[in-house]
């Protein structure tokens, strides 16, 4: 089932140390002050950093209608996801993994203990 940006935002803001922010003049979400994600200008594509190149290629090969990247992101471990075609669980999983890379380990351990 597809996911909306409002649902992505609600999920992310429920994680510790996540807050609204801006990135290049656009609204985004930050974790511990670091870039977590943002909706692209098309209103449907979500920027998902922290995806290794080999995994990005596998995601694109498995679901090209969902995952892609532009030349801008070619040299960055980032994948773009079309929310209108993406599975909510997959988006949340990729987002949470990057959140874990942005926050102190103690914060993620405390979050896990409460979950």
Per-residue pLDDT 10s for the chain (115 aa) are 789 999 999 999 999 999 999 988 888 999 999 999 999 999 999 999 999 999 999 999 999 999 999 999 999 999 999 999 999 999 999 999 999 999 999 999 999 998 7
How confident is the model at residue 2, as a pLDDT? 86
Domain ranges of the chain: 5-106
- CATH number assigned to the domain with residue range 5-106, chosen from the 4 options 2.60.120.280, 3.90.1150.30, 3.30.70.1250, 3.40.50.2300: 3.90.1150.30
With a threshold of 0.85, does the pTM exceed it? yes
Query: Can you give the pLDDT at residue 1?
Result: 79
Position 115 scores a pLDDT of 78
Q: Measure Cα distances from 110 to 15, 28, 92, 107 in Å.
A: 11, 25, 19, 5
Distance between CA 10 and CA 94 in Å, rounded?
A: 15
pLDDT confidence of residue 15 = 97
3-state secondary structure of 14: coil
Exposure on the CB side of residue 111, measured as CA atoms within 13 A = 17
């Amino acid at each position: 089932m597809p996911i909306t940006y409002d649902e992505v935002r609600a999920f992310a803001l429920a994680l510790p140390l996540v807050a609204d922010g801006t990135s290049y003049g656009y609204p985004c979400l930050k974790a511990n002050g670091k870039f977590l994600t943002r909706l692209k200008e098309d209103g449907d594509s979500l920027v998902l950093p922290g995806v290794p190149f080999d995994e990005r290629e596998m995601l694109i090969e498995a679901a090209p209608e969902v995952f892609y990247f532009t030349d801008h992101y070619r040299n960055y471990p980032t994948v773009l996801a079309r929310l209108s075609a993406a599975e909510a669980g997959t988006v949340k999983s990729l987002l949470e993994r990057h959140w874990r890379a942005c926050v102190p380990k103690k914060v993620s351990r405390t979050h896990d203990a409460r979950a």
